[in-house]
A and B are shown apart, each in its own frame.
Chain A
Amino acid sequence: DSGVTQTPKHLITATGQRVTLRCSPRSGDLSVYWYQQSLDQGLQFLIQYYNGEERAKGNILERFSAQQFPDLHSELNLSSLELGDSALYFCASSDGSGANVLTFGAGSRLTVL
């Protein structure tokens, strides 16, 4: 158990729908990152939050949004879903200071039919 909790583990939905993925970071970590891994692809950085504020943005589609709440958990909202959004979505956390390590959750597998 890495200490980073992601829910749900699996999600199957239809095109055009909206889903929310949730992440609770490791205790003490202030920074949360979201990554997308499509089939046999690498980890594509989506967005990073630090203590509630957006810190960096990657290749995140306009249909996707995220936020980090005062209790430091984060949610990734995916809307108007398309078949190509089917992927593993990973959340990772770090303490956000200096040279440190990302700790990943087990991921949420989204299947869009």
Chain B
Amino acid sequence: DQQVKQNSPSLSVQEGRISILNCDYTNSMFDYFLWYKKYPAEGPTFLISISSIKDKNEDGRFTVFLNKSAKHLSLHIVPSQPGDSAVYFCAASDLGYGQNFVFGPGTRLSVLP
């Protein structure tokens, strides 16, 4: 039973354009969400987070949008750069329960020059 879903295993985008990565969750108790980026042979690195009291959070080229009613969040990368090519994981947590972070299966983003 996947509580966090990333239905697109892969995504290709032209350099300079917008990348949109999507994530859906099923557990309504989740109230804190994060995006991680992972390069081959490295551990995941934190990108951006959002709590359920917000619907948008920006950090430079990265913006995360949260739609609580739809249990959906998305990561926008503008403009996309070749160095953004990586696997992106969405993660969710119920802050009231042991800080257990549940990760989605990941989306492989390829930014083409």
Contact = CB atoms under 8 A, between A and B. Distances in A.
Interface of A: 2, 4, 31, 33, 35, 41-45, 48, 50, 55-56, 58, 90, 92, 94, 96, 98-107
Contact of A35 (B32, B46, B98, B103): B103
B99 A103 contact: no
Q: How large is the interface on B (under 10, 10 to 19, 20 to 34, 35 or more residues)?
A: 20 to 34
Interface stretch (B11-19, B37-45, B59-67, B70-78): B37-45
A2 B43 contact: yes
Contacts of A43: 44, 89, 103, 106
B64 to A, nearest CB: 13
A105 B41 CA distance: 11
Interface of B: 32, 34, 36, 41-46, 49, 51, 89, 91, 95, 97-106
B89 A58 contact: no
A103 B103 CA distance: 14
A94 B49 CA distance: 14
Contacts of B41: 106
Given A48-B98, A99-B95, A101-B34, A90 B43 contact: yes
B100 A56 contact: yes
